[in-house]
Amino acid sequence: MNESSRFCDLAGKTTLVTGGGSGIGLAISKLFTSLGAKVYILDINAEQGEKARMNIANSGGIVSFIKCDVSSEVDVQDAMEAIDGPQISILVNNAGVAHIGTIEQTTGADLDKIYNINIKGVFNCTKAVIPRMKKRGGAILNLASVASVVGISDRFAYSMSKGAVLTMTYSVAKDYLKHGIRCNCIAPARIHTPFVDDFLSKNYPNQESEMFKKLSETQPTGRMGRPEEVAQLALYLCSDEASFITGSCFPIDGGFITLNS
């Protein structure tokens, strides 16, 4: 099979991955460049983003890094101006932050932070790329969560934000269908990213292994997902092979939603 007929070939597709410097975003950036995409990593952490860029470039991928706070409309517009050419084929809205707590444990400042990054960040980036996609179509993929569709204890603000990501996905898919723009989202359960390790070291010092095991066992499969597994699903949904799929949410959750009752 020649290179041009590879399954999920992304050759020539300019792709934006927000929060692409680590975790799921980094796994997506690596996989997409390996299949020919030209990836722009947008990340607020300059050190992390540049390290990711060098790692991917050293493996032969076509990648650039732009420091960007997705919660800032000005930052996002500046990032758009820094991108070569008018066409963007794929946007992956991956950047986000977590919050743990009930409504009583959530401050107004907490809620504002979650809103600005998890909701407004998706709004800013999506609004900025749609004009570039309207002529030739494109694919937008949002990172939602199982918390978008089921109740999870102590996740009030986070669930609020990811529920909004889900419904924004539906709205964009509906409004831009005639322009050939597809919009879908992925709803992961617990994925083993640096966030998990940082959370455990901060909140459970000297108990990291024990707590990691407990968190893993909350998934019916008995383990957390891997960023690379999420990246494979993202690849399919952003590729031309998924051209019949839009306005859909895809759990990748080890059975959490349907088997955890």
Pick the catalytic residue from 115, 158, 176, 236. 158
If one counts every other C-beta atom within 10 angstroms of the C-beta of residue 151, the result is 7
What band does 3 get if pLDDT is binned at 50, 70 and 90? very low
Instruction: Judge whether 158 counts as a catalytic residue.
Output: yes
Express each pLDDT in 180-220 by its tens digit: 999 999 999 999 998 888 888 888 889 999 999 998 998 99
The dihedrals phi and psi of 75, each to the nearest 5 degrees, come to -60, -45
Q: How far apart are CA 33 and CA 49, in angstroms?
A: 15
How is the chain split into domains, by residue range? 3-189+227-254, 191-224
Give the pLDDT of residue 19.
Answer: 98
Spatial contact of 146 and 187, defined as CB atoms under 8 Å apart = yes
The CATH label, of 3.90.930.12, 3.40.50.720, 1.20.1050.10, 1.10.287.1080, for the domain at 3-189+227-254 is 3.40.50.720
Q: How far apart are CA 18 and CA 23, in angstroms?
A: 11
